[in-house]
Amino acid sequence: MKNKLFGINAFVFFALIMLAFAQTAMAQEAAQEAAQEAVQEAVSQEAVAQDAAQEAAQEAERERSFRIGLGYGYSFGGYREETDSTINRYYNLPSYFLNTNIEKGNFLHHINLGFFMGENTVAKELEDKYSPDRYHLIRANIEYALDYRMWGNETFPGYLGGTFRTDAYVITETLEIAKVTAIFSLGLHATQKWIIDPKHSLTLSAGLPLFGYAARPPFPGTNEVQEKYVVEGTPLKILGIGHFASVHNYWALFADLKYHYQLIDLLSLNAGLGFDLSRVNVPAPKIDAVFRVTAGLAFTF
């Protein structure tokens, strides 16, 4: 009888111990579930906060649909004009820029103007062989591009479209022997934006000419025909002294990367890098390469 009672008591004691272990395990599992729920809630709140910040950045960028800016920088470049001589000339010149961007719906308009002027020279070891060793260079360009949004999300939108661009080059020792080149071109244009947050954004744009017209005489200076047009008061006829250009005799790439910092609602600061590379082969090769750094400010509306 005592053995039976002992066995029953042992069984009850063992059952109580197992029940205590089960309760402890259930409590630990409940604590783990609560901790996981707390972590998930925190992650969810962080994601909501990030989404809200992105939406605020996107909304702020959408509200600023018109931006016009002024820029100043330095252009480091070189060129070779083979209607004059087959040597490379180099320059480091201050440069000036005016940029306008208008965004309406899925369309993005760009209007860009650039200008620089100053002396350029040959390599130092060639200075004694060429006279004059220094020329005066003037370069100006104006571009209109229209892009349409084609890919990406609200934070990383991408655009593709077309561009019309005019580049003018004047190389002169004196006005009487100025070498003038004007290139009018149509081509592809692409823009990629990265809206980091309401104050910070990056914009990469590039243009690739496909067709054009290069107005450039095959010699330095002027001739009787050009002088006749000027005397007649019809200097635009000089543009007829040119050649149609496309990918078989004109290659170029124009690219810019710009960082914007929104200082206040109406004013932003920017800094950028640019690169231009071009070659026109009519009537003789002209090769240009430019790297530039810029800084400026822009008004946004």
Q: What is the pLDDT along the chain (301 residues), one digit of tens a residue?
A: 545 545 555 555 555 555 555 566 566 666 677 667 765 776 566 655 665 555 555 555 455 588 999 999 999 999 888 877 777 888 899 999 999 999 998 999 999 999 999 887 766 555 555 555 567 889 999 999 999 999 999 899 999 999 999 999 888 765 556 777 889 999 999 999 999 998 999 999 999 999 999 887 766 555 555 666 666 666 666 666 778 889 889 999 999 999 999 999 899 999 999 999 999 998 889 999 999 999 999 998 8
Under 8 Å between Cβ of 74 and 92: yes
Both tokens of 62, joined, read 């959408």
Contact between 115 and 98 (Cβ < 8 Å): no
CA proximity to 297, closest of 258, 239, 241, 246: 258
Answer for the pair 248, 209: CB distance below 8 angstroms, yes or no.
Answer: no
Q: Using the 8-state DSSP alphabet, how is residue 24 labeled?
A: H
What's this model's pTM, rounded to 2 decimal places? 0.73
CA distance 290 to 139: 11
CA-based torsion, 19, 22, 24, 27: positive or negative: negative
The token pair that represents 76 in the structure block: 């480091």
Contact 220, 84 (CB under 8 A): yes
Other C-beta atoms lying within 10 Å of the C-beta of residue 64 = 21
The dihedral over CA atoms of 280, 281, 285, 290, expressed in degrees to the nearest 10, equals 20
SS3 content of the chain, % helix, strand, coil (to 5): 30, 55, 20
